[in-house]
């Protein structure tokens, strides 16, 4: 069975681990690159790395970086007066250095990502939504800022009034993205932040179109009891005027989805979407596999 | 007293430590950049880093890198199939990352070097010979190769038939270089490899000219008993047709130097150069200070 997941970071990565853990499922994860940045001169793809590290069972304890990492280089950067709050672990840094050097040599982000996934022994295919530069900007009370400034530097405390995805109109999907959607039996939108992590994927016109034409698209809500466990999804949905709770998640995807998996406490009736209550807490691999099995069984 | 030293890596760095250790000496080290390379996408300036680390008492045990360094990132790079024989330590990497990011942001190598030296608390001024791209290439039996291929990848086993310094004809000295030479009471050419580490500095036309006009230029031979302790200087001098022993070092500098400090066992009479026998073994800071005192006293 061919399954495509659209994924942001932590939540989407955990569901990917569940889907990849089911024998007979061929998973392609199509991952948000709107949060990519150049930090300390290194090309950072936070969501791609979180998906790969999580699939490999090597993810860090806080939703970024690698398990058991150390911060020798990152700590030393302070000597040169560098803002090193964006913590780059020593093991993690190897991937960043490799990717930056390969990009400089003309290799595409999707080619690099396939190499990295293979080097971690993954069977799942992991693809950036696009090899083109597509960057998320958010409008706060005091104007437009980059995703990184909003999320890392300001700690996602501000209200997000508006979002735009620079470069999206002309962005081509990475090689393999459209084919994987067309050949999939099921498209899952992972429990990531809908506006900040999934919209930038859907902002690539031909990806949105392929998803819109797909007969079976299921989304998993990132909300539990109307709120997020971590991250600002609930507040972002509200401040963008999409409402609250299950309604806001459904609104964020409109007619693209056929059904929406939510926590038992978040079940409501909606006219156009089949809302299904289940256990959407997927911190462990086992719970993620359980949810994934439910998704593919329907 | 203002002293300028032209320096390559280890030997020159050790003498710089001696000169900087004498109260009342204002040292400017003008350092070879012919060995600079981009490795793993990072801008590497081996000699600048060795000089700074050595002046800071933070040099690694083998003539490169930092004391007490670890190799977490470097080891992990092997996962991606990268040739990681050019070992980048985790602490050392912070400097490489900082420099690469700053260069990409348009800061010059000399500005970056001044910042780095300051961040290590150095009083000595450390300058690259030039901010322009000047790169050493050597002709071996089988053709021209980069310095890095010759030195790192082939382990400097081949005979060097010829040397060229790409970019040198148009290279401008870094800001402060010419002034420091003109204002110096003494120019010392450190005990570095003459053709491979000092010639690339002298290949910048206006530096060569300033040295040629200076009234007091002393060189320290890198040879002990006609041979090098480490590195290929003796073989390179010979294979370039400059002869052997003290003669070859004097030939490599021609009329630029007034006197040449050599190991007691290497003293010979030369028509144009005052050859002075002394203890040129300067592994320790104390022995380097002793030699430096002798140099400035003459």
**Strands of the B26-31 sheet, one edge to the other:** B125-128, B26-31, B2-7, B186-189, B217-220, B259-263, B274-278
Look at residue A112 in the predicted model and tell me its pLDDT: 98
Interchain proximity A100–B73, CB inside 8 Å: no
Instruction: Name the residue in chain B with its Cα closest to that of A69.
Output: B72
CA distances from B18 to A296, B54, B67, B138, B293 (A): 72, 10, 19, 31, 8
Closest CA to A166 of A25, A36, A296: A36
Give the minimum alpha-carbon distance from A116 to chain B in angstroms, rounded to a whole number. Answer: 7
| Host H or E run for residue B135 | strand B135-140
Partner B contacted by A77 (CB < 8 A): yes
* Per-residue confidence band for A152, with pLDDT thresholds at 50, 70 and 90: confident
Helix axes A109-119, A46-55, angle to 10 degrees: 20
Whether the pLDDT of residue B298 is over 80: the answer is no
Task: Average the pLDDT over A8-21 and give the result.
Answer: 96
Partner B contacted by A215 (CB < 8 A): no
| Host H or E run for residue A2 | strand A2-7
Look at residue A207 in the predicted model and tell me its pLDDT: 98
Instruction: Name the residue in chain B with its Cα closest to that of A98.
Output: B40
DSSP letter string over A11-79? HHHHHHHHHHTSTT-EEEEEE--TT-EEETTEEE-HHHHHHHHHHTT-B-TTSSSBTT---HHHHHHGG
pLDDT tens for residues B278-291? 999 999 999 999 99
**Considering chain B, what percentage of its residues have pLDDT values greater than 90?**
93
pLDDT tens for residues A116-144? 999 999 999 999 999 999 999 999 999 99
Which tokens sit at B140? Answer: 């071996």
Interchain proximity A94–B100, CB inside 8 Å: no
**Rounded CA gap, A150 and A152, in Å?**
6
Give the minimum alpha-carbon distance from A94 to chain B in angstroms, rounded to a whole number. Answer: 5
Interchain proximity A80–B119, CB inside 8 Å: yes
Look at residue A63 in the predicted model and tell me its pLDDT: 80
Interchain proximity A77–B70, CB inside 8 Å: no
* Per-residue confidence band for A62, with pLDDT thresholds at 50, 70 and 90: confident
* Per-residue confidence band for B46, with pLDDT thresholds at 50, 70 and 90: very high
Residues 6 or more apart whose CB falls under 8 angstroms from that of A273 comprise A250, A257, A258, A259, A260
Task: Average the pLDDT over B221-229 and give the result.
Answer: 93
* Torsion sign (Cα): A199, A204, A207, A209: positive
Look at residue A229 in the predicted model and tell me its pLDDT: 81
**Considering chain A, what percentage of its residues have pLDDT values greater than 70?**
100
Look at residue A84 in the predicted model and tell me its pLDDT: 87
**Considering chain B, what percentage of its residues have pLDDT values greater than 70?**
100
Q: Return the SS3 of B150.
A: helix
* Per-residue confidence band for B173, with pLDDT thresholds at 50, 70 and 90: very high
Whether the pLDDT of residue B100 is over 90: the answer is yes
pLDDT tens for residues A214-245? 999 999 999 999 999 888 999 999 999 999 99
* Torsion sign (Cα): B252, B255, B257, B263: positive
Which tokens sit at A132? Answer: 């083109």
Give the minimum alpha-carbon distance from B49 to chain A in angstroms, rounded to a whole number. Answer: 14
Residues 6 or more apart whose CB falls under 8 angstroms from that of A225 comprise A263, A265, A266
Phi/psi region, residue A238 (left: phi>0; alpha: psi -120 to 50; beta: rest), is alpha
- Cα A235 versus chain centre, distance: 18
| Beta-carbon count within 10 A of A71 CB | 18
Whether the pLDDT of residue B44 is over 80: the answer is yes
pLDDT tens for residues A98-116? 999 999 999 999 999 999 9
Look at residue A230 in the predicted model and tell me its pLDDT: 81
């Amino acid at each position: 069975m061919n399954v495509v997941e659209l994924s942001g970071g932590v939540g989407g990565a955990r569901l990917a681990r569940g889907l990849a853990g089911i024998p007979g499922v061929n998973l392609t994860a199509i991952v948000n690159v709107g949060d990519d940045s150049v930090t300390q001169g290194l090309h950072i793809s936070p969501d791609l790395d979180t998906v790969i590290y999580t699939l490999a069972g090597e993810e860090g304890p806080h939703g970024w970086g690698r398990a058991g990492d150390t911060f020798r280089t990152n700590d030393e950067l302070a000597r040169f007066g560098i803002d090193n709050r964006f913590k780059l672990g020593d093991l993690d840094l190897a991937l960043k250095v490799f990717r930056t050097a390969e990009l400089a040599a003309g290799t595409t982000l999707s080619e690099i990502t396939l190499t990295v996934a293979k080097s971690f022994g993954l069977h799942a295919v992991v693809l950036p939504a696009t090899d083109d530069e597509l960057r998320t900007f958010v409008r706060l009370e005091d104007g437009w800022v980059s995703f990184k400034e909003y999320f890392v530097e300001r700690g996602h405390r501000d209200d997000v009034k508006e979002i735009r995805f620079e470069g999206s109109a002309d962005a081509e999907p990475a090689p393999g993205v459209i084919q994987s959607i067309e050949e999939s039996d099921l498209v899952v939108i992972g429990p990531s932040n809908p506006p900040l992590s999934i919209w930038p994927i859907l902002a690539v016109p031909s990806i949105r179109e392929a998803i819109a034409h797909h007969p079976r698209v299921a989304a998993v809500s990132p909300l539990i009891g109307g709120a997020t466990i971590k991250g600002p999804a609930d507040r972002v949905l509200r401040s963008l005027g999409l409402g609250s709770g299950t309604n806001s998640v459904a609104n964020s995807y409109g007619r693209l989805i056929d059904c929406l998996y939510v926590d038992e406490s978040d079940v409501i009736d909606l006219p156009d979407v089949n809302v299904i209550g289940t256990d959407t807490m997927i911190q462990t691999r086992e719970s993620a596999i359980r949810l994934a099995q439910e998704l593919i069984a329907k």
